[in-house]
Amino acid sequence: MSPTPPAIGLPVPSSWYCLGLSADLPPGAVWRRTLAGRELVVFRTASGRAALLDAYCPHLGADLGVGGRVEGETLRCPFHGFCFDVDGACASTPYGRKVPPAARSRAWPLVERNGLVFAWYGTAGESPAFEIAETDTEGWTAWREHVFDLRGHPQEIAENSVDIGHFAAVHGYEDVVEREPLRAEGAFLHACYGFARPRGFSGKGRLQAEIRIHQQGLGYAQVEVEVRNLGLRTRQLVLPMPVGPERVLLRIAMAVDKRLRPKDIHPLLFWLPGGWLAERIANKGIVSYAEDVAQDLPIWQHKVHLPRPALADGDGPVGAYRKWVRQFYPVAQAGESLGSVLAAGGG
């Protein structure tokens, strides 16, 4: 039996967190979600507008996400039939009388970008500090996704993007090189690496890949992957959502550029439509991607957070990353300075 590690000790960072795929939330759909210990309900109205409210009805406490249903532009409570609009205001009651002024559910910031539904969580209750960048999805397959439930923290998961040393030790990448220096622009962090994979694909030898990582806050990383010797481009997402102090729902997703040339993948595939092949690669690719991420799970599940790690040459820009993440913690934990919680550790 594995020992229970100490508490991670980091507060939930302020960021946008992915609640799911927009395609899975058609008009009339209702989702139940937990974000940083807050119980929430997501719904899409008949006209197509998505909204995010506190889950418990302010009338008598029923869970709007369990049995609640969309009626027009409102969400109807399963207990007494009170209806709430996208701003959380009670629009009507079944009694036909004046709506109680206190019958209002808290509405949370919600946006849809790149086929994903995001909620904003502010550690200090602050409004969104940045926006998720729009990505051109024309010519790409739909997202394929996989979700892990694990002990962890968004900062620890995102740190993998700058931890060059683990690429070889955990994932077996070869010839890992930093193609461009780490670049921070406000809430955005950019990195670029090249590497080789030893196992072949479709009769090819080693895969030669370049990845460009675009971290947007601590809840959204978009990784552009180009396998040059196959003419293949994929887009991979890392979307951790903190559920509670030690729990994360980690959603990963993948899409494939349909403008590939099948003969570059394998000469015998020259006759296949590129879009058809891209869809099949996406189906297989998300399985391989999930297997890759699963290699990190035992590490995340049992590691501790070291505010001052003993960094070595070859680790990558972990110290610079630690300085960048400080902006997502506007309030320190009670009795501690933010610097003690998020020490850069040699960066």
What CA–CA distance (Å, rounded) separates 198 from 77? 55
What CA–CA distance (Å, rounded) separates 125 from 141? 36
Comparing 165-174, 197-206, 260-269, 296-305, which segment has the lowest mean pLDDT? Answer: 197-206
pLDDT of residue 9: 81
Percentage with pLDDT > 90 across the chain: 74
Residue 104's contacts (CB-CB under 8 Å, 6 or more residues apart) are 58, 84, 88, 89, 90
**pLDDT band (50, 70, 90) for residue 345:** very low
Comparing 39-48, 157-166, 190-199, which segment has the lowest mean pLDDT? Answer: 190-199
Which amino acid belongs to residue 66?
Answer: V
Percentage with pLDDT > 70 across the chain: 92
pLDDT of residue 346: 37
As a whole number, the mean pLDDT across the chain is 90
Beta carbons of 182 and 321 less than 8 angstroms apart = yes
Integer angstrom CA distances of residue 110 from 36, 61, 83 = 15, 23, 20
Beta carbons of 74 and 93 less than 8 angstroms apart = no
Q: Is the pLDDT of residue 347 over 80?
A: no
Across the range 175-181, mean pLDDT stands at 90
Of residues 35 and 265, more confidence is placed in 35
**pLDDT band (50, 70, 90) for residue 134:** very high
Q: Is the pLDDT of residue 185 over 90?
A: yes
Q: Is the pLDDT of residue 127 over 90?
A: yes
